Amino acid sequence: MPRPVTEVVTLTLQPEANADEVISGWDDISYHKAFEQSETDFAAAGAFLGPVITDPPFMFHVYLDPVERERILSAPIIEVATFFSVPKGYSDEGEKLLRILGSFQGGLGFLHAEIVEDIAVEGINPKGIGWFNFLAWESTAQHVAAKESDAVQGSIHLIRGEGQMGEIERHYVKFTGA
């Protein structure tokens, strides 16, 4: 039975090398793999993107509920975070901090999942388990205020994995439809 999967792609665009995020829903990961293997479609995508990107795309898959994903993506601002080399079972600890953050004024919800593929920061650490989350907000200022609160600062060790994890890549995105 097919299992919906979300493809996450970060593109580094020319000329200012700003990152752009592409979120695609697939009915099943096998359909995306078939697309990658189809010479015509995949080559056309590469030909379209090649002139505007400065680095190879960074891509992975996560299993997120498609309805919840669309709800979160409609928020005014979203922190997108990718955690590299997390310990097994990290999702439970990470969710605890997401719940604390999400309880603050302006928090509109979150989604998180372990990344399907093993991932690594290019040239920094070996491939390992990755964790991904969307954290939706009414505004960046409200997210910053929540992060600076005593409650979050006292719980930051939850997101850091007690020193057992690698890099964290995070940025804000305002998603628009295709």
Least confident of 47-61, 67-81, 90-104: 47-61
Asked whether residue 100 is assigned to any structural domain, the reply reads yes
11 strand-pairing partners: 20
3 state SS of 59: strand
CATH number (domain holding residue 92): 3.30.70.100
Asked whether residue 22 is assigned to any structural domain, the reply reads yes
Asked whether residue 178 is assigned to any structural domain, the reply reads no
Task: Give, in order, the Cα–Cα distances in Å from 20 to each of 2, 9, 42, 48, 177.
Answer: 28, 8, 19, 15, 13
Examine the domain organization and report whether 92 and 164 are in the same domain.
Answer: yes
Examine the domain organization and report whether 142 and 129 are in the same domain.
Answer: yes
Q: Kindly report the backbone phi and psi dihedral angles of residue 12, in degrees, each rounded to the nearest multiple of 5, phi listed first.
A: -100, 110
Burial class (CB in 10 A: 0-12, 13-18, 19+), 71: middle
Which pLDDT value is given to residue 76? 96
Q: State the average pLDDT over residues 123-142.
A: 89
**Boundary-marking domain end, from 45, 62, 79:** 62
pLDDT band at 167 (very low <50, low <70, confident <90, very high): confident
3 state SS of 43: helix
* pTM of the predicted model as reported, rounded to 2 decimal places: 0.83
Q: State the average pLDDT over residues 35-64.
A: 77
Least confident of 30-34, 40-44, 63-67, 154-158: 40-44
Q: Which domain does 82 fall in, by range?
A: 66-173
Cα–Cα distance measured from residue 83 to residue 115, given in angstroms and rounded to the nearest whole number: 9
